[in-house]
Amino acid sequence: MKNNSITEPLGQPLLSCHINGEPVTIGVSPAKRLLSVLRDDLQLTGTKRSCEIGRCGACMVLMDGVPVNACLTMAYQCTGKQITTIEGLSQDGLHPVQQAFLEEGGYQCGYCTPGMIISVKALLDENPDPTQEEVEEALSGNLCRCTGYGGIVRAVQRAIEWGRGSQ
Ligand code: FES
Ligand code: FES
């Protein structure tokens, strides 16, 4: 993250929130979206811009632990919230879900993977031992347009197994 201070001219409404645990105060126009704040203002480019209409999941981030599409989330809606991006998952080394994606070939391209990992993390935080159906439901908002879901599904299963081992 570039910095956590005011990065746009005063006179605009201020957004105050936490991003990856850091307090952030930034001037935002009323029409600005969270995706633009993250990528364009804070250089948190792990969150991807793709369809921009809520269809693909490339822009998925956590808001107070719940996955949301950053392309559909207005910046002002983030006031007082805790936002977690893919960068925030690896502050103390790779998150187990990231590690599982690497080991099982779930990391197929840089575009869909961050959003997939965010969705899986949210699922496993809420439900550490989901069924296959629950995994598919959790990933239903994350599209892979190219390679397929085999490696991704294996990665999720690996992360679930690791979770079982640590219980
Ligand atoms: S870029 Fe947000 S859902 Fe596709
Ligand atoms: S879009 Fe990323 S692997 Fe298919």
SS3 track for 132-155: HHHHHHHCCCCCCCCCCCHHHHHH
| Residue 147 confidence (pLDDT) | 86
Bridge-partner residues for 24, per DSSP? Answer: 17
Q: Phi/psi at 41 (nearest 5 deg)?
A: -95, -40
How many helices (H) does the chain have, and how many strands (E)?
A: 6, 5
Measure the CA–CA gap between 133 and 89, rounded to whole angstroms.
Answer: 25
CA neighbor of 97 nearest in space, from 79, 78, 114, 76:
114
Atom in ligand 1 nearest the alpha carbon of residue 50: 1
- Between residues 9 and 32, the one the model is more confident about: 32
The answer, yes or no, to whether residue 124 has pLDDT greater than 80, is yes
Atom in ligand 1 nearest the alpha carbon of residue 141: 3
Alpha helix (H) residue ranges in 16-79: 34-36
The answer, yes or no, to whether residue 81 has pLDDT greater than 60, is yes
Q: Verify whether ligand 2 is closer than 6 Å to residue 111 (CB atom).
A: yes
Range in 9-18, 36-45, 149-158 with the lowest mean pLDDT: 9-18
Ligand 1 centroid to Cα of residue 167, in Å, is 34
Task: Output the pTM of the full model.
Answer: 0.92
Q: Phi/psi at 126 (nearest 5 deg)?
A: -85, -35
Pairing of strands 14-19, 82-84: parallel
The answer, yes or no, to whether residue 167 has pLDDT greater than 70, is no
Pocket of ligand 1 (CB under 6 A): 49-52, 54-59, 69, 71
Q: Verify whether ligand 2 is closer than 6 Å to residue 117 (CB atom).
A: no
The answer, yes or no, to whether residue 78 has pLDDT greater than 90, is yes
User: Mutation test of ligand 1: which of 36, 50, 113, 119 has the most ligand atoms closer than 8 Å to its C-beta?
Assistant: 50
| Residue 92 confidence (pLDDT) | 86
| Residue 5 confidence (pLDDT) | 57
| Residue 27 confidence (pLDDT) | 93
| Residue 37 confidence (pLDDT) | 97
Average pLDDT, the chain: 93
